[in-house]
Structure 1
Amino acid sequence: MSAPHFNLHPADTVHHPLNRWSTFGQQSEAIARFSNNLSDLLMPRPASASIPKQRLPIFDLPPLPPIHDPLVLKTVFTDRSALPRVGDVFDVERKEMRRGFEDLEHIGASVLVMFLAGWLCDAKPHLDFKLATKLKESIISNVTLSHLSSIYGLPERLDADPTLLSSLQSRCDIRSALFEAYIAGVYLSASSTDGTGSRGPALVCEWLKGLFGVVADWYEESIRGGEKVYVDMSEK
């Protein structure tokens, strides 16, 4: 799986290692379509976890892998409300500078879906189809990803309009999106440093195996123990 490359710094389009497509919008839209199609095929994503978030434990997670590329790191933690407004819809150059974690979220979601699809089969081959489906839905839910994001302290690093910051940090979907954006950041930053694009997938897989091994074990034990499976539609 080769790393996607895109332009995070329009002023340095030639030299930055992440630049391969002409505009960020092209890649963002393509990744979004890819993510949606892959998610539909492999893993339906509920609005929230099958177990109430207040019952999720404070998992002992592996350390966050670093994001060495400063442009990628800044994008991971930037909300568009903190960026300068662009009045002219045709002002492509200025629009290229308005990049936030929402633009990386789709890439991270795609990487996460592909990882889980293969890893669960290898890590838990004993699962029947019904239990495997419940487990995947629980792991990929916004509530689970939001919880992991909070454990890692990602919402506290968000850069947003001060009038919106507190509200954004408290939203489940924003915390979940930050986690997916961080996955993308690790993937892209590591892939840009080795010249072959292979380091990104390897680093992400190493991190996520340690992370979701703990989470999947807890969910499997809870589901086997007869926890009621439901979707909390009040979670935003």
Structure 2
Amino acid sequence: MEKMSIQTVKELLKEITDDQDVRLLPLKSDERKGVELALKQWQKQQEKAAALVARYHEMSVFENEKKAMGFQAIAGIDEVGRGPLAGPVVAAAVILNDDHQIIGLNDSKQLSASKREELVKEIKKHAKAIGIGEASAEEIDQLNIYQATKVAMQRALDQLPLKPDCLLIDAMVLDNGLPQEKIIKGDARSVSIAAASIIAKVYRDKLMADYGSEHPAYGFEQNAGYGTKQHLMAIDKFGVLSLHRKTFAPIRKK
């Protein structure tokens, strides 16, 4: 029987996801180096996929605990943009479907921009409700960043079309009377909070890119408002914008 070409083997392996698949048998006995290499690469991909599934189940523990207690609309909440010199702090609240399966969810800072964009589409497919809230640079200056973050989070909750009955919040507590759990590093430990982290990050990055188009010298589309060399030089040359947080160093010294 004529052996498959190496390219045909690679194409076949793209279709196989089970290591018990009978189509693997002739490949495992094939002594060609190209086939051995293709099998090794396939095995690594399977191990990586299995690890992502295992991590997803691990990150669903908080949600499963709340469901076991009878809660049905569990909102994960997270924010982005506490540290920049410019732009709002943005929070998102996400209530996922009961049958969600969004493999690859993680703290948004640990993901590439393209992966975040891909996951946003999946989150929107598998969410019962999504809400986004902002607190402006002016509000941050008036309230302080901690209190402004709470305002943004509550606004995100208020934007949900479905009222949550329980909250999972990344490292914060909201004074709104709802049952809630504060989870340190929650964006890497809870699927709902991770989903909120990604939604908030993609939303804020786009917002800052739009501001970058309006104020090209400041490079907001690249720095998202953080104090990069280009950003600081633009402040020195062109001055402070209404987008800037006047209470943040080094702006408050200007």
What's the TM-score, normalizing by structure 2?
A: 0.27
The structure where strand makes up a greater share of residues is 2
Q: Which has the larger radius of gyration?
A: 2
More RCO (CA 8 Å, sep 6+): 1
